[in-house]
Structure 1
């Protein structure tokens, strides 16, 4: 049974200009006021914009629970993957070795990044159905003393698994290694408190749970790690230490910043705070998930994951077995009704994903279920039950 979450907000407004809702893990549906914040031009060197950057860094640090000044926030231009590469290239020494924890596309992308960096790594690949666990991590670290760092994906959005980062962090710290966290799709809605979870650095993006727009990400790291990163980076533009040092010295980004995106993000941060911060945002997303999953299951859809591992970020469903079901047609019918869903990213079975994040609430999610029911009816699909082979594969791999 999925957890019930209190949520008493009024229905959120339809996106501006008749836009469809983006049921994706980012970019996502943003508030109209966030869009409006991009209507003004800002000088990247001007004092007003420098003050905006400083305010943004301060607000992001506050979300981690750091009250001792041990961490700092370094925004970086580019997509989330740019920032993950920046983190790995800056914090892992050239003679270091990373244990990559993968259970989907984004863990595997971290491994691919290590290949491009030409730095040593080893991989625990759990497939699509299960998370890496603390005892597995501890065993791997005990077996290979060359490993210096571990990278974990907080929420693996290719499947929707919310990984047990606290458990992993405890194992890593107990073995005297350093944890790096890709919290791209979870930070801002799932707690990552430095007082409860030991990590050296984490990375996230503007266009995820804070509900900003794409254009930059940010690394939050211990100052001691930032200082040690000097001269390590493989890249001029992705050098986290250089960005940090320049920003602290001048208040400016080293290279042209996404000024309009920063302005929008500050508005998104203000809304995030007004909603109740991480706890408030996470409660809304959890309610979104619970309402949507319950309704989809009533239609016959099956989730890839058991309830225990379902994140409040995005949920993966098996494609129906019915002969009349075709995902491309289903996608277009859902879009016609105002909802853009996400294709699957699994290698073993056919699937699709429905995001729970963005400017949406439980009232919208009920409409999503209604749209799915109508779309199935228009396709002549009388049940959304998945193929027996998909259920068997899940049982085998999740055993």
Structure 2
């Protein structure tokens, strides 16, 4: 599916029904380049019904959007300490059933460092990290998780969305057009097209001078 284009769930359903060789479906839960939130629960139901495996990139949704690896039929979930868990950069993780991790013994590693099977064995069996860890980032993640549990994902998501709604409403009044249609937008990122006569660099510099930081999207998305 193209940039900024909502997933056609019926097309996914048909593809899985027609092609038995498809073993896994990958989903980026939140596309940060567009601000689009993809329908995880609905897609998970389709993938589970076809008895396939679902891999979810939840880098920028964990902590901010509803996500239940059991209810949403997620087999592999990839996350990071920063973004909406509000920890420090430097730590990422993969959540999967132990049986799936053990099953990686039948898969030839493609890299030396990012070998999930080796990491799993080292941490789960040997009780030691495979490589020297970023200890300070792990301590920060521990604190960030405590704060997330204290606030709850529902409350944090509401906090993000209320602030996003204020920004979106203000920009709309000034002629900015949202890239993603309503109902498909994430809580944590909002992407707008620049109106005619507004140059990105000028807008960026003026906002930065006032303490606000924005960043541009890929050119393929248009102005």
TM-score normalised over the length of structure 1: 0.54
Q: Which runs of 5+ in 1 are unaligned?
A: 1-125, 351-399
Q: Is the 8 A contact 2:28 2:56 kept in 1?
A: yes
C-alpha distance in 1, partners of 2:105/2:73? 22
Query: RMSD of aligned C-alpha atoms?
Result: 1.3
Q: Which runs of 5+ in 2 are unaligned?
A: none
C-alpha distance in 2, partners of 1:259/1:139? 46
Q: Residue 203 of structure 2 corresponds to which residue in structure 1?
A: 330
SS of the residue aligned with 1:139? helix
- Cα distance, 1:250 vs. partner? 3.3
Q: Which segments of structure 1 move beyond 6 Å, counting only runs of 4 or more?
A: none
C-alpha distance in 2, partners of 1:293/1:307? 11
Q: Is the 8 A contact 1:202 1:220 kept in 2?
A: yes
Higher relative contact order (CA 8 A, sep 6+): 1
SS of the residue aligned with 2:131? coil
Q: Residue 270 of structure 1 corresponds to which residue in structure 2?
A: 146
Q: Residue 28 of structure 2 corresponds to which residue in structure 1?
A: 153
- Cα distance, 1:346 vs. partner? 4.6
Q: Is the 8 A contact 1:180 1:199 kept in 2?
A: yes
Q: Is the aligned partner of 1:344 residue 2:217? A: yes
Q: Is the 8 A contact 1:158 1:346 kept in 2?
A: no
Q: Is the 8 A contact 1:133 1:168 kept in 2?
A: no
Q: Is the 8 A contact 1:203 1:219 kept in 2?
A: yes
Q: Which has the larger radius of gyration?
A: 1
Q: Is the aligned partner of 1:215 residue 2:90? A: yes
Q: Residue 137 of structure 2 corresponds to which residue in structure 1?
A: 261
Matches within 5 A, 1:75-94: none
- Cα distance, 1:231 vs. partner? 4.6
Q: Residue 10 of structure 2 corresponds to which residue in structure 1?
A: 135
- Cα distance, 1:283 vs. partner? 1.2
C-alpha distance in 2, partners of 1:310/1:195? 24
Bigger shift: residues 247-256 or 285-294? 247-256
Q: Is the aligned partner of 1:173 residue 2:51? A: no
Matches within 5 A, 1:267-346: 267-275=143-151, 277-322=152-197, 325-346=198-219
SS of the residue aligned with 2:79? strand
Matches within 5 A, 1:1-399: 126-232=1-107, 233-275=109-151, 277-322=152-197, 325-350=198-223
SS of the residue aligned with 1:204? strand
Q: Is the 8 A contact 2:69 2:75 kept in 1?
A: no
C-alpha distance in 2, partners of 1:252/1:338? 43
C-alpha distance in 2, partners of 1:258/1:242? 18
Q: How many residues align?
A: 222
SS of the residue aligned with 1:347? helix
Q: Deviations over 1:282-320 (max 9, x none)?
A: 111111111111111112211011211111021110012
SS of the residue aligned with 1:313? coil
Bigger shift: residues 325-334 or 159-168? 325-334
